[in-house]
Amino acid sequence: MMISSCRYFLFQMIAIVVFLLIQGCGIKLDPWDRGHLAKPTMAITPYPNHSALREHVFTSKEASQGGYGGIGGGCGCN
């Protein structure tokens, strides 16, 4: 059951990726159209230190780890 749900999910993810790539390839953005995207608030992690602190707490208190792109070291946090 676990395997099948995992497969289903993988399939979904691949579908989304393909969709986005098709979407993305279609668009063209001139440099002067990229002003909004360049705003600090549009960064993936606008406050990296705060994000790292929260991530540290969540991974210490929850079973789930990873998935957000960052790879770091471990601790024996209780």
33 DSSP assignment: G
> Is residue 21 involved in binding other proteins (CB under 8 A)?
yes
**C-alpha span between 50 and 6 (Å, rounded):** 31
What's the min distance (Å) between Cβ of 32 and other proteins?
Answer: 4
* Interactions with other proteins, residue window 47-76 (CB under 8 A): 47, 49-50, 52-54, 56-58, 61-69, 71-76
> Is residue 38 involved in binding other proteins (CB under 8 A)?
yes
3-class SS of residue 1: coil
Residues in contact with 42: Cβ distance below 8 Å, sequence separation at least 6, in sequence order: 36
31 DSSP assignment: G
**Chain contacts with other proteins (rule: CB under 8 A):** 2, 5-6, 9, 13, 16-17, 20-21, 23-25, 27-29, 31-39, 41-47, 49-50, 52-54, 56-58, 61-69, 71-78
